[in-house]
Amino acid sequence: MVFTRWHYFGEHGEKYHPHLNILCDGGWLPEEQLAELKDSIRRKLLPRSIAKGIGKDLEIQYRYSRSPKQIMHWIKYVTKASFRDITWDEPLANALYGFHNGCFAGTWDGS
């Protein structure tokens, strides 16, 4: 199962900092497999020509844990609102009005 949610601002709304959070079932990925997966995601989401043109690439962070405490922390972080004050960017707030930010994918098998 996968859950995704956009955060639009940093912790205190000090600057526009859009980033996509993804929580998924899975296991630990070996370093080589993780590097290949990150490279594949970058190529699919941001063409190399654009990345070179803007002088930036996608930052992909990966963490794995079996600790229920850590997992709950990530769930709380990902599901919290980051755009808490309309004055931070009123046109963006109006454009996002009614947008369903959280998205689930996959099936629940009960295990």
Domain locations in the chain as residue ranges: 2-105
70 to 64, 92, 111: CA distances (angstroms) = 9, 32, 20
Find the length of the chain.
Answer: 111
The first and second tokens of residue 33, run together, are 């497999």
In this structure, which amino acid lies at residue 63? R
pTM for the whole thing? 0.73
Buried (b) or exposed (e) across 71-102, using 16+ Cβ within 10 A? eeeeeeebeeebbeeeebbeeeeeeeeeeeee
**61-94 pLDDT, tens per residue?**
899 999 999 999 999 999 988 888 888 889 988 9
The separation between CA 90 and the C-alpha centre of its own chain, rounded to angstroms, equals: 23
Which residues have C-beta within 8 Å of that of residue 51, sequence separation ≥ 6?
42, 57, 58
**9-62 pLDDT, tens per residue?**
877 777 788 888 989 888 889 999 999 998 998 888 888 888 888 888 888 889
